[in-house]
Amino acid sequence: MALLHISEPGQSLVSRQQKRAVGIDLGTTNSLIASVQSGVAKTVPDHDGQVILPSVVHYGDEVVVGYQAKVKATTDSRNTIVSVKRLMGRGVDDVKTLGNVMPFDFVNADKGMPFIRTVMGDVSPVQVSAEILTVLRQRGEEALGGSLSGAVITVPAYFDDAQRQATKDAARLAGINVLRLLNEPTAAAVAYGLDQGGEGVIAVFDLGGGTFDLSILRLNKGVFEVLATGGDTALGGDDFDHAVARWLLEQAGIAETSLTPERLRTVLQIACDAKEVLTADSVASVNFEGWSGELSRTVFNALVDPLIDRTLQAFKRALRDAKLNMSDIGEVVMVGGSTRVLRVRRRVAELANKEPLTSIDPDQVVAVGAALQADILVGNQSADEMLLLDVIPLSLGLETMGGAMEKVVYRNTTIPVVKAQEFTTYKDGQTAISIHVLQGERELIADNRSLARFTLNGLPAMPAGQTRILVTFQIDADGLLSVSARERSSGIETAVQVKPSYGLSDDEIVQMIRDSFDYAATDKDARLLLDQQVEADRILEAVNIALVKDGDRLLNSEERTQLETAMQTLMEVRKGRDARAIKTHIEQLAQASDEFAARRMDDGVRAALSGHFVDEFEG
């Protein structure tokens, strides 16, 4: 029976069609994608049911993203890019301030952006992030059944213009239409506020793997107004891991400077595992290169307290900026995987004099909020249902004579916004003026960040101080800036869109997008081959471990020979580039090992039941 879609006369069916929109949380440690389906915002899982995609990219024979790349971090760390978000929008000199936390070979580039040397060539943070976003886009398209209309991508509230532009460049390179960049704490407030119907002032405490954001928001009848922001784009769970790793190395008597990148990545993973254990247990066992010991929760707390202190200081600064007291805060919402650390929750509770809210999954809430906003921006829901009023994280201004910075748009100003200020010439007969756009809170330009320079030529030759030049700053909803300058009497005008030097040029992005289409078929074949090679390695390792442990007990010599022959055949085929042949021999090895696996299972059950009576397990 056919089903008909009936509409009222004069009404278009097109208006009923839901556009495919997603929210993307591009995180330092993990990334997620979410969408609104049947009126409910939820994260989108991969084929294995995992909603989290590790923000890890490995460059080897092919590019691998996610869990498969993560396992390479301890064996091929220089070609396995982790925590790339920390590099977004940073210059080569900026990277040096991060300390020895990134075991990569950085290459200077003309644009000032740090490229990373890999076996597949030099790659920028923008390109690495684009690989992660591409996987998420493909996941979203598969789940929603077609190309995406657009995406809301979240960024830390404290991301500056360069970091935001780099994020947009990465999305464009990944083939994503960015509807809006949304501050991560604001996204969390969207999800939390809509679910709970809350009103009043809340603080969103967002501590992820590599960044920390603190936002003070006022919720009132669907309006989310950001009153103040604070944070640190180089502080997160990664730093907790480094604190534990340094303690472990000190206990083991190993100098950190003596570690290879692979050994450093190994000890960091051990530290991360211990941190996670201490969320539930009071003591965690740690072992590294022959040294064994225990890390107590008390010692762990002492190690991370200085880092937590930095988050609490940012909390207090944001309150001062919002002209509020702690007693004005109705609730504190915890966001980000690192807020699972009990010490973090306890210290925040002590400062706020109330237990923080942890009922929403801290890993997923940001993506869910972004999905809700994306659904509105593409027109699936009425924009009247929600209004977001974000703010800029740092002041914007101009250089004046003597090297001072004149602020035009102050930090925590609600965006989008347009602000103008009048300036004049310094010398008699001056016919041009150089305009230097800056970002920061300091008084001298040397202490602030340079964003752009441009020149207004053709000014009428007038005495100093007589020329009137109106400089206008326009900031869009993404926090991106355009600056124009106009001389009032002559009408001469010039403008610049502030695109920081760390982003890719338009030509480079177009070329990379063109390459992605030109090599689409080749890339697809390469991915299929890689998937089968990974699966071959997995089953070969599993069968080999089983043979070493139980082969002599559970197999006769003929059976073992047959199994080893099947393994050897798969190993040889795996070296080739025929994905179909590899898949066939994987299935043959699986079939050949089925009886062995069944015997091991039966043997394990017998061992578990040994010394017990059946009636012990009844009822």
pLDDT at res. 188: 84
Question: Minimum mean pLDDT among 343-347, 402-406, 436-440: which range?
Answer: 402-406
Of 571 and 265, the one with more pLDDT? 571
Q: Exactly one of 46, 160, 184, 232 is catalytic; name it.
A: 184
Question: Minimum mean pLDDT among 68-72, 97-101, 516-520: which range?
Answer: 97-101
pLDDT at res. 301: 95
What is the DSSP code string of 546-560?
HIIIIIHHH--HHHH
pLDDT at res. 613: 58
Cβ pair 111, 298 in contact under 8 A: no
Q: Exactly one of 206, 225, 232, 238 is catalytic; name it.
A: 206
Question: Minimum mean pLDDT among 15-24, 47-56, 460-469, 610-619: which range?
Answer: 610-619
Q: Is 99 exposed, middle or buried (0-12, 13-18, 19+ CB in 10 A)?
A: exposed
pLDDT > 90 in the chain, percent: 31
How far apart are alpha carbons 81 and 194 in whole angstroms? 36
pLDDT (average), residues 483-492: 84
Structural domains in the chain plus CATH codes: 18-236+305-389 (3.30.420.40), 237-304 (3.90.640.10), 392-507 (2.60.34.10), 520-609 (1.20.1270.10)
Average pLDDT score over the chain: 82
Residue 388 — pLDDT band, cuts 50, 70, 90? Answer: low
Q: Exactly one of 70, 72, 76, 85 is catalytic; name it.
A: 85
pLDDT (average), residues 480-507: 71
Planar angle of CA 206, 201, 198, nearest 5 degrees: 90
**Per-residue pLDDT tens digits for 337-385:** 899 999 999 999 999 999 998 877 888 989 998 998 898 888 777 655 5
pLDDT at res. 329: 92
How far apart are alpha carbons 152 and 366 in whole angstroms? 11
pTM of the model: 0.63
Residue 195 — pLDDT band, cuts 50, 70, 90? Answer: very low
239 is catalytic: no
What is the DSSP code string of 180-224?
EEEEHHHHHHHHHHHHHT--EEEEEEEE-SS-EEEEEEEEETTEE
Residue 54 — pLDDT band, cuts 50, 70, 90? Answer: very high
Verify cis geometry, omega within 30 degrees of 0, for the bond prior to 306.
Answer: no
Residue 101 — pLDDT band, cuts 50, 70, 90? Answer: low
Residue 83 — pLDDT band, cuts 50, 70, 90? Answer: confident
pLDDT at res. 499: 60
pLDDT at res. 507: 54
**Per-residue pLDDT tens digits for 496-554:** 776 655 555 545 555 555 565 666 677 677 657 877 887 888 889 888 888 888 888 88
- Buried-state track 227-257, b at ≥16 Cβ within 10 A, e below 16: bbbbbbbbbbbbbbbbbbbebbbebbebeee
232 is catalytic: no
Question: Minimum mean pLDDT among 111-125, 223-237, 249-263: which range?
Answer: 223-237
What is the DSSP code string of 236-266?
SHHHHHHHHHHHHHHHHT--GGG--HHHHHH
Of 130 and 404, the one with more pLDDT? 130
85 is catalytic: yes
305 is catalytic: no
pLDDT at res. 380: 79
**Per-residue pLDDT tens digits for 124-166:** 899 999 999 999 999 999 999 899 999 999 998 778 778 888 8
**Per-residue pLDDT tens digits for 4-26:** 333 333 333 334 467 899 999 99
